[in-house]
């Protein structure tokens, strides 16, 4: 089994990103923007409702306070600023999950915050503190690094995430989006990598090194003109390989969210 997750609810105001409604039919979980990099109250409400209607698990997707940069710019914040920003965003999303008689099941830091919790202990600690203060049963979606190590030390729940269309360095970190080839565009390559990641536990770095990787969930991207077609293909190829898409709680053997 593997969880299929994508970042949703990233429209705001008059601006629209992605075809969330169509993508939701392919997913088992969703990371929902909480207003700091994208999303607004109306979008959050609609997205939570749509997830509930389809039985898709709901995750918070907190970011640096960077609407103009879509949360992809590094910000030098204090540990307490990161903690309270994440806690604030959890609170915002939980208002809508409560309104729709459901709950947040997981948390996946967005963009540059997600990159930096892999390498910075202070930012990882801030996210862990926010999760512990809000709901210590939340699953944190992580890659190997500081966030994963700290969560294990504290006994917090984690799920290892593999990102279908991103290139990896030899050390297992993501290639920076500022570098050529950071985002993979060949659908054949992306599909092959994803199936291998899940079935063999291996991923090839951009320099050709085979890296061991555990993928409890595969992150798909919902933006771009070919995103929906690629997501359908990845799900179909995983199923053809005998891998059943399932919500994260089932993959991890946890009580249903």
- pLDDT bucket at 13, cuts 50 / 70 / 90: confident
Residue 32 DSSP SS3: strand
Condensed to tens digits (0 to 9), the pLDDT of residues 149-171 reads 999 999 999 999 999 899 999 99
The CATH number assigned to the domain with range 3-252 reads 3.20.20.370
Q: Which residue has the higher pLDDT, 183 or 31?
A: 31
Tell me what pLDDT residue 16 has.
86
Give pLDDT, residue 143: 94
pLDDT tens profile 67-98 = 999 999 999 999 999 999 999 999 999 999 99
- pLDDT for position 17: 86
Q: What is the DSSP string of 163-184?
A: ETTB-B-TTSPBPPTTSTTSB-
| pLDDT of 233 higher than 90 | yes
Q: pTM for this structure? A: 0.94
> Taking the domains of the chain in order of start, what are their residue ranges?
3-252
Percent of the chain residues topping a pLDDT of 90: 86
Q: Round the average pLDDT of the chain to a whole number and report it.
A: 95
Per-residue confidence band for 49, with pLDDT thresholds at 50, 70 and 90: very high
Here the tokens at position 248 are 């994260």
pLDDT score for 177: 87
Mean per-residue pLDDT, 100-115: 97
pLDDT at 159: 98
**At 195, is the secondary structure helix, strand, or coil?**
helix
The answer to whether residue 257 scores a pLDDT higher than 80 is no
CA distance linking residue 48 with residue 103, whole number of Å: 10
pLDDT > 80? residue 256: no
Per-residue pLDDT, averaged over 21-39, amounts to 96
Where residue 19 falls among pLDDT bands split at 50, 70, 90?
Answer: confident
173-203 confidence digits (pLDDT tens): 999 888 998 999 899 999 999 999 999 999 9
What crossing angle do the helices spanning 227-240 and 187-200 adopt, rounded to 10°?
A: 40
Contacts of range 132-139, beta carbons closer than 8 Å, 24 or more positions apart = 132/156, 133/83, 133/87, 134/87, 134/90, 134/91, 134/94, 135/90, 135/104, 138/60, 138/104, 138/105, 138/106, 138/107, 139/105, 139/106, 139/107, 139/248, 139/249, 139/252, 139/254
pLDDT value at residue 175? 93
**Burial environment of residue 151 by CB neighbours within 10 A (0 to 12, 13 to 18, 19 or more):** buried
Q: Does residue 2 contact residue 30 with C-beta atoms inside 8 Å?
A: no
Altogether, the residues listed in the chain come to a count of 257
């Amino acid at each position: 089994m593997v969880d299929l997750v994508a970042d949703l609810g990233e429209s705001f105001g008059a601006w629209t990103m992605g075809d969330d409604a169509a993508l939701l039919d392919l997913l088992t979980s969703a990371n929902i923007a909480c207003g700091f990099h994208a999303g607004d109250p109306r979008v959050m409400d609609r997205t939570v409702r749509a997830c509930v209607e389809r039985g898709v698990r709901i995750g918070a997707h907190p970011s640096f306070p960077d609407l103009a940069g879509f949360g992809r710019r590094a910000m030098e914040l204090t540990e307490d600023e990161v903690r309270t920003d994440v806690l604030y965003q959890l609170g915002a999303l939980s208002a809508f999950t409560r309104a729709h008689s459901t709950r947040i099941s997981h948390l996946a830091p967005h963009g540059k915050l997600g990159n930096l919790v892999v390498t910075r202990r202070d930012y990882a600690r801030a996210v862990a503190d926010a999760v512990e203060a809000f709901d210590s049963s939340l699953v944190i979606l992580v890659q190997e690094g500081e966030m994963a190590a700290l969560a294990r030390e504290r006994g917090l729940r984690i799920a290892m995430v593999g990102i279908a269309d991103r290139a990896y360095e030899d050390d297992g970190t993501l290639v920076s989006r500022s570098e050529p080839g950071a985002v993979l565009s060949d659908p054949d390559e992306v599909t092959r990598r994803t199936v291998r990641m899940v079935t063999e536990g291996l991923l090839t770095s951009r320099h050709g090194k085979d890296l061991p990787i555990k993928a409890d969930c595969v992150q798909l991207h919902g933006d771009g003109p070919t995103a929906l077609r690629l997501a359908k293909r990845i799900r179909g190829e995983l199923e053809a390989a005998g891998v059943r898409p399932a919500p994260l709680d089932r993959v991890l053997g946890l009580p249903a969210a």
